[in-house]
């Protein structure tokens, strides 16, 4: 939170990060939302006897189902396209922005009246500091030199922070321009003490390299990149710096992107039967049934995916089995509607 609330990170940056995270969650949210919206819609129609009126007017149940399926297919196509380009790009942006946050300024947290200990073996305490001009008064520093086993204590009446973060070279430097002070060096080996007085002293604190570049993951690959990665084979992936686990994850991601749109259609089909039967006979409580169906589906789905990750089952088979379960359930609910209507 201290990094996010820093001057380096703007409100628009945070809003953009939230937007990217929400985009990555869309493919997971849409199948569930279309399932429950179908159940709610049909439940209202059935409860208000609108469904009975439509059937009494001579409308076949498939004619009532058809607009739901058309919408489900349209949504499935959108989700498929969404999964191939926008979602991978959103994953890239999330990773990059997290990298930017983690690469926030090394002087972040340096404030008046507070000990600054973010840097190893270094403690800085400015009594007063202007956060805009970076000028300070009465500063205390303790630095331990590991290489020479020397404790360095510096006290100065005033000074200024010289901070530079070069985006082009990826180098960030932090120096202190100190005025009217003294330096006390104490050797941990010989116990010798040296004191130096100065009018002005430029003290280099640290310099580091930073990078906003993120490592490529399967969830960050668009359709073309993912297919090319898989078609190249494991050996080609290993030459690019990936391992067997990355290659397996890429295969899972490929089939999962195909699986999600199909779920949208099948859950709409199942939801149609649940919604109509929710207010009739012993089939009340469609929401509870819907939750149990989702739990059952994802339990079987992730169990089979886990087996597929071990190489004991093709990924498409692992996804086809739970999809077949939804199709069977949808057909059963659809056929059972004849006696209820």
Q: What percent of the chain has pLDDT over 90?
A: 45
Question: CA-to-CA distance for 185 and 145, rounded, in angstroms?
Answer: 10
Question: CA-to-CA distance for 128 and 144, rounded, in angstroms?
Answer: 24
Residue-level pLDDT at 340: 46
Residue-level pLDDT at 3: 54
Does position 339 have pLDDT exceeding 60, yes or no? no
Q: Write the burial class of residue 186 (CB in 10 Å: 0-12 exposed, 13-18 middle, 19+ buried).
A: middle
Residue 86 DSSP one-character state: I
Does position 102 have pLDDT exceeding 70, yes or no? no
Residue-level pLDDT at 8: 58
Residue-level pLDDT at 4: 58
Taking residues 273-294, what's their average pLDDT?
77
3-12, 44-53, 172-181: least confidently modelled range: 3-12
Query: What residues are paired with 207 via a beta bridge?
Result: 173
Mean pLDDT in the chain?
Answer: 86
Taking residues 181-186, what's their average pLDDT?
92
Question: CA-to-CA distance for 188 and 152, rounded, in angstroms?
Answer: 11
Does position 322 have pLDDT exceeding 70, yes or no? yes
Question: CA-to-CA distance for 337 and 341, rounded, in angstroms?
Answer: 6
Residue in the block written with tokens 């993912």 = 226
Q: Write the burial class of residue 340 (CB in 10 Å: 0-12 exposed, 13-18 middle, 19+ buried).
A: middle
Taking residues 287-304, what's their average pLDDT?
92
DSSP-derived pairing of the beta strands 122-129 and 193-209: unpaired
> 308 falls in which pLDDT band (50, 70, 90)?
very high
> 99 falls in which pLDDT band (50, 70, 90)?
confident
Taking residues 5-10, what's their average pLDDT?
61
Does position 212 have pLDDT exceeding 80, yes or no? no
Neighbours of 274 (CB within 10 A): 25
Give pLDDT tens digits for 145-174.
Answer: 888 888 999 999 999 988 887 766 778 888
> 210 falls in which pLDDT band (50, 70, 90)?
low
Residue-level pLDDT at 58: 84
Residue-level pLDDT at 317: 95
Give pLDDT tens digits for 104-136.
Answer: 666 777 888 889 888 888 999 999 988 788 899
Question: CA-to-CA distance for 23 and 224, rounded, in angstroms?
Answer: 20
> 341 falls in which pLDDT band (50, 70, 90)?
very low
> 211 falls in which pLDDT band (50, 70, 90)?
low
> 7 falls in which pLDDT band (50, 70, 90)?
low
SS3 sequence, 240-289? CCCCHHHHHHHHHHHHHHHHHHHHHHHHHHHHHHHHHHCCCHHHCCHHHH
pTM higher than 0.85: no
Give pLDDT tens digits for 229-255.
Answer: 999 998 888 888 888 898 999 999 999
Does position 46 have pLDDT exceeding 90, yes or no? no
Question: CA-to-CA distance for 260 and 256, rounded, in angstroms?
Answer: 6
């Amino acid at each position: 939170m201290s990094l996010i609330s820093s001057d380096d990170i703007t409100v628009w940056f945070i809003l953009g990060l939230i937007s990217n995270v929400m985009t990555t969650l869309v493919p997971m949210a849409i199948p569930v939302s279309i399932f429950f919206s179908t159940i709610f819609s049909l439940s209202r129609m059935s409860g208000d006897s609108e469904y009975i009126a439509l059937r009494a007017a001579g409308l076949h149940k498939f004619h009532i189902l058809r607009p739901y399926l058309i919408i489900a297919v349209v949504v499935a196509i959108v989700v498929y396209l969404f999964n191939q380009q926008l979602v991978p790009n959103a994953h890239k942006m999330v990773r990059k922005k997290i990298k930017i946050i983690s690469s926030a300024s090394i002087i972040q947290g340096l404030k008046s009246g507070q000990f600054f200990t973010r840097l190893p073996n270094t403690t800085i305490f400015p009594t007063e500091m202007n956060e805009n001009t970076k000028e300070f008064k009465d500063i205390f520093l303790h630095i331990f030199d590991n290489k020479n086993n020397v404790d360095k204590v510096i006290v100065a009446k005033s000074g200024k922070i010289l901070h530079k973060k070069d985006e082009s070279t990826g180098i960030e430097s932090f120096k202190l321009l100190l005025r009217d002070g003294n330096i006390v060096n104490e050797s941990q080996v010989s116990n010798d003490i040296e004191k130096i007085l100065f009018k002005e002293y430029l003290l280099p604190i640290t310099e580091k390299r930073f990078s906003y570049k993120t490592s490529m993951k399967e969830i960050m690959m668009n359709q073309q990149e993912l297919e090319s990665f898989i078609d190249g084979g494991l050996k080609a992936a290993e030459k690019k710096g990936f391992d067997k686990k990355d290659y397996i994850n890429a295969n899972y991601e490929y089939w999962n992107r195909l699986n999600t749109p199909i779920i949208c259609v099948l859950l709409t089909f199942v939801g149609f039967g649940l919604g109509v039967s929710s207010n009739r006979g012993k089939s009340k409580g469609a929401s509870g049934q819907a939750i149990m169906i989702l739990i059952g589906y994802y339990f079987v789905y992730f169990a089979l995916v886990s087996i597929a990750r071990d190489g004991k089952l093709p990924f498409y088979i692992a996804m086809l089995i739970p999809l077949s379960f939804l199709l069977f359930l949808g057909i059963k609910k659809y056929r059972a509607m004849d006696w209820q209507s």
